[in-house]
Amino acid sequence: MNRSIVELIPPFVRQIDPYQPGLPVEEVERRLNLRAVKLASNENPLGPSPKAVEAGRAALAEAHRYPDGGGYYLRQELAARLGVPMDNVILGAGSTDLIDIVARTLLSPGDAAVTAAGSFPMYSIAVRSIGAQLITRPLRDYTFDLPALLDAATPRTKLFFLANPNNPTGTMFTASALERFLQELEKLSPAVVVLDEAYFEYVQVPDYSRSLELVRSGAPVLVLRTFSKVHGLAGLRIGYGIGPAPLLAEMNKIRSPFNTSNVAQAAARAALDDAEHLRRSVETNRLGLQQLVEGLGRLGLRPVPSVANFVLVELGRAAGPVADALLREGVIVRPMGWMGFPQAIRVSVGTAEENRTLLAALGRVLSNDDEPGREA
């Protein structure tokens, strides 16, 4: 870029570590001349509900019209299902859009947000793009350390980002732990807690989440959910937030007015109606997670116990070369150095066959005499 243009850009933007997208799967396949297995982005290996595809296709015929910018029918349906009024629901182009909008709504340069080091990078990008400060505290046992985050808050802290389950570790904190955190926070300072529940539907643990009750009780909590994960609509970019109506009203002022497309809204509504696809997706994940954990164990690896649709696997050696070697075997996983785990890969749960392919390829890579990553 022309130097003088770069100089126009505030240093706090220039200093942002970019989100690192993987190579498109088609490009990997073209370069290696093989069919690749993609276990890199925590997607639903079954794909979208056929009903969602059909609804999206029908909506495409209306693509010459702007979408319903208020997302009326989808918000109405979500509100009814979630047991909250419609003005407690906001739509985003994926939940990442809402992470960005809530940060821009609440933070001024010099304000602070708090999250864990070793969590979803979009929190950092959203906060730092405003010139606000992101304060982080380490995970404890790969899990959000809520008391440590409270201790880290300053008088200028207006936002907390809590991922539950956390990406990339797949760990969770309980509803009771969050309630204790909110009680303590109330004594300290008025701040909004963004509770990122992108993987909500996969979690089958008692006392996991009572987030909607918190919203209904008026707690300063913005719950984020998405159609990208269990609903298999990541490519359509649609997610939603559930939170206090006055906060959402301000967020609505600064979001792009047509941030969710008519195709995405239609597909999302149909996805909500397909309970069978949802059930099958959750069950496929439950079995696939078990298969991966057992298979990784046979390779002498102990993945971090996960309640989501991916696992973090510490390899005891630099992860980048192992991920590269897996790529040459046609399996795409993500090395996690850029999220703070230089010796770990994150593996998304695939179909039984995809999981078998990954396990076999990883077995070959780790037993290879060249030992990728050993010397690094």
Ligand X SMILES: Cc1ncc(COP(=O)(O)O)c(C=O)c1O
Stretch that binds ligand X, among 22-30, 88-96, 240-248, 280-288 (CB under 6 A): 88-96
Alpha helices, DSSP H, located in 229-351: 245-254, 262-273, 275-298, 319-328
CB of 92 to ligand X, least distance (A): 7
Q: 44, 49, 88, 96: which one contacts ligand X (CB under 6 A)?
A: 96
Stretch that binds ligand X, among 91-99, 129-137, 172-180, 260-268 (CB under 6 A): 91-99
CA–CA separation, 276 vs 261, rounded Å? 25
For the chain, give percent helix, strand, coil, nearest 5: 45, 15, 40
80: its two tokens: 């009814």
Q: Which is nearer to ligand X, 120 or 160 (CB)?
A: 120
218: its two tokens: 């008026």
Three-state SS letters, 295-330: HHHHCCCCCCCCCCCEEEEECCCCHHHHHHHHHHCC
94 sits near ligand X (criterion: CB under 6 A): yes
40 sits near ligand X (criterion: CB under 6 A): no
Residues 300-359 that bind ligand X (CB under 6 A): none
123: its two tokens: 């929190």
CA–CA separation, 291 vs 349, rounded Å? 9
Lay out the site mask for ligand X across 136-165 (x = CB under 6 A, - = otherwise): ---------------------------x--
CA–CA separation, 347 vs 293, rounded Å? 11
265 sits near ligand X (criterion: CB under 6 A): no
Q: Which is nearer to ligand X, 226 or 355 (CB)?
A: 226
Q: Which is nearer to ligand X, 96 or 281 (CB)?
A: 96
Q: Which is nearer to ligand X, 97 or 274 (CB)?
A: 97
- Residue whose beta carbon is closest to ligand X: 94
Q: Which is nearer to ligand X, 167 or 355 (CB)?
A: 167
CA-closest candidate to residue 165, choices 342, 46, 289, 275: 289
Q: Which is nearer to ligand X, 185 or 308 (CB)?
A: 308
Q: Which is nearer to ligand X, 123 or 372 (CB)?
A: 123
CB of 374 to ligand X, least distance (A): 30
CA–CA separation, 271 vs 61, rounded Å? 19
95 sits near ligand X (criterion: CB under 6 A): yes
CA–CA separation, 194 vs 224, rounded Å? 7
Q: Which is nearer to ligand X, 88 or 115 (CB)?
A: 115
Q: Cα angle at 214 between 211 and 216, to 5 degrees?
A: 115
CA–CA separation, 149 vs 161, rounded Å? 10
196 sits near ligand X (criterion: CB under 6 A): yes
Lay out the site mask for ligand X across 209-248 (x = CB under 6 A, - = otherwise): -----------------x-x-----x----x---------
Q: In a 10 Å sphere around its CB, with 0-12 CB exposed, 13-18 middle and 19+ buried, how is residue 210 labelled?
A: middle
Q: 36, 39, 40, 42: which one contacts ligand X (CB under 6 A)?
A: 42
CA-closest candidate to residue 40, choices 302, 326, 256, 295: 326
CB of 238 to ligand X, least distance (A): 8
CB of 227 to ligand X, least distance (A): 7
# of chain residues touching ligand X (CB under 6 A): 13
Residue 171 CA, distance from chain mean position: 13
Stretch that binds ligand X, among 19-27, 94-102, 147-155, 264-272 (CB under 6 A): 94-102
Q: Which residues bind ligand X (CB under 6 A)?
A: 42, 94-96, 120, 163, 167, 196, 198, 226, 228, 234, 239
